[in-house]
């Protein structure tokens, strides 16, 4: 049997539109800063902002898809759409890093004086503050709602903030020392950092597509809920969980004395499912009732399952 959980998932695409709007504004500001200064470091920063825009568009599509209810072809919902969003974003980040390296190598071969650093840096700082504000909002909402798409977008924006900081420091040093070679070298360093972020997103998304178990804090809550039900007359084992975007699923075997009537066993399973659903909102629970005297009821354990002790 399974708990009749609410399959509706909140549409968070409005936060994706917030990220998209901020991305467009930031891109225009950073391109302006690059045009004013001629800094390849600032150009690299601007190119990364194009990835922010593309990522926001993908996130909007994924968030809308994830919010769709289950249908005949997708009976467990569309939650994994958010993992695809992160995969695509990771790939775009790596493409942006490649563009940055190409620009930096060209500037290494043809050094160029930087101009009007004060105005360019002021514009870039303003763009970074916009990114920081949006990132804080997305991170809070992503964590509260369990949205990988929003959380990934937020971390990317925060990384963009640190990247911009590094570029600004480099541009200031170039302006003070005249070491023109430092500007493209910082651009290459920025690209390396972007590749690291992209690879990390790819790994996290791939892991989610492989149906990883619920987060450990959720598993701890599950153990606390199940503890009182484990008595001399009731055994619970074969507990498995999986995460699918903002959705999570729990399945378990509930063993009771064989002389219990069906109504008593059903009532017990319903209480367990209801309490888990209250403790872990949005989690779908499935229980399988078995007689504990039957040896076959104990033959379904393996190392990959959650241990309740």
In-domain check, residue 282: yes
Specify whether 60 is located in the same domain as 95.
yes
CA angle 36, 39, 44 (to 5 degrees): 115
Among 21-30, 105-114, 207-216, which stretch is predicted with the lowest mean pLDDT?
105-114
CATH of the domain at 273: 3.30.70.1350
> How crowded is residue 113: how many other Cβ atoms within 10 Å of its Cβ?
10
Specify whether 185 is located in the same domain as 224.
no
What confidence tens digit (pLDDT) does each residue in 242-255 have? 877 667 889 999 99
In-domain check, residue 78: yes
In-domain check, residue 7: no
Specify whether 137 is located in the same domain as 274.
no
What confidence tens digit (pLDDT) does each residue in 155-170 have? 777 766 766 676 677 6
Q: What is the pLDDT of residue 275?
A: 92
Residue 236 near residue 287, CB atoms below 8 Å: no
Specify whether 231 is located in the same domain as 204.
no
Specify whether 26 is located in the same domain as 91.
yes
What confidence tens digit (pLDDT) does each residue in 57-82 have? 888 887 787 777 777 777 666 667 77
Task: Mark which of 179, 209, 239 sits at the end of a domain.
Answer: 209
Single out the residue of 202, 13, 51 nearest to residue 131, CA to CA.
Answer: 51
Q: Burial of 69 by CB count in 10 Å (0-12 exposed, 13-18 middle, 19+ buried)?
A: exposed
In-domain check, residue 305: no
In-domain check, residue 8: no
Specify whether 186 is located in the same domain as 240.
no
Quick one: DSSP state of residue 280? S
In-domain check, residue 84: yes
Task: Mark which of 163, 179, 209 sits at the end of a domain.
Answer: 209
CATH of the domain at 50: 1.20.1510.10
Specify whether 55 is located in the same domain as 193.
yes
Rg for the chain, CA atoms, rounded = 26
pLDDT bracket for residue 118 (50, 70, 90): low
Specify whether 25 is located in the same domain as 135.
yes
Q: Determine which helix (DSSP H) or strand (DSSP E) holds 254, and give its type and residue range.
A: strand 247-256
In-domain check, residue 124: yes
CA torsion angle 35 40 46 48 (round to 10): 170
- pTM recorded for the entire structure: 0.57
Q: Quick check: helix, strand or coil at residue 182?
A: helix
Specify whether 52 is located in the same domain as 164.
yes
Give the structural domain span for 191: 13-209
What confidence tens digit (pLDDT) does each residue in 16-39 have? 888 888 888 888 888 887 777 776
pLDDT > 90 in the chain, percent: 11
Specify whether 176 is located in the same domain as 75.
yes
Specify whether 179 is located in the same domain as 228.
no
Total number of domains constituting the chain: 2
Specify whether 163 is located in the same domain as 78.
yes
What confidence tens digit (pLDDT) does each residue in 201-210 have? 777 777 767 7
In-domain check, residue 5: no
Task: Mark which of 177, 209, 241 sits at the end of a domain.
Answer: 209
Most confident of 44-58, 128-142, 161-175, 223-237: 223-237
Q: Quick check: helix, strand or coil at residue 236?
A: strand
């Amino acid at each position: 049997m399974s708990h009749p959980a609410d399959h509706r998932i909140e549409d968070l695409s409005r936060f994706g539109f917030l990220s998209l709007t901020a991305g467009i504004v930031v891109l225009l500001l950073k391109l302006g800063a690059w045009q004013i200064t001629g800094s390849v470091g600032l150009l690299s920063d601007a190119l990364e902002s194009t990835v922010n825009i593309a990522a926001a568009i993908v996130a909007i599509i994924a968030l809308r898809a994830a919010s769709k209810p289950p249908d005949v072809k997708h009976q467990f919902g569309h939650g994994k759409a958010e993992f695809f969003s992160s995969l695509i974003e990771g790939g775009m980040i790596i493409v942006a890093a490649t563009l940055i390296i190409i620009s930096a190598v060209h500037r290494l071969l043809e050094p160029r004086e930087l101009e009007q650093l004060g105005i360019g840096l002021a514009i870039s700082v303003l763009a970074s503050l916009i990114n920081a504000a949006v990132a804080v909002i997305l991170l809070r909402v992503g964590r509260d709602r369990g949205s990988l798409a929003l959380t990934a977008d937020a971390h990317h924006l925060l990384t963009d903030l640190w990247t911009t900081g590094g570029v600004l420091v480099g541009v200031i040093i170039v302006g003070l020392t005249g070491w023109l070679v430092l500007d493209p070298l910082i651009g290459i360093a920025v690209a390396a950092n972007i590749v690291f972020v992209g690879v990390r997103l790819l790994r996290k998304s791939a892991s989610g597509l492989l149906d990883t178990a619920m987060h450990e804090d959720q598993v701890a809550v599950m153990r606390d809920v199940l503890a009182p039900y484990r008595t001399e007359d009731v055994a619970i084992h074969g507990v498995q969980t999986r995460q699918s975007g903002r959705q999570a699923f729990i399945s378990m075997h509930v063993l009771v004395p064989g002389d219990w009537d069906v109504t008593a066993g059903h009532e017990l399973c319903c209480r367990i499912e209801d309490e888990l659903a209250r403790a872990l909102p949005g989690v779908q629970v499935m229980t399988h009732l078995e007689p504990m005297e039957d040896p076959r009821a104990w033959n379904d354990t393996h190392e990959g399952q959650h241990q309740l002790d």
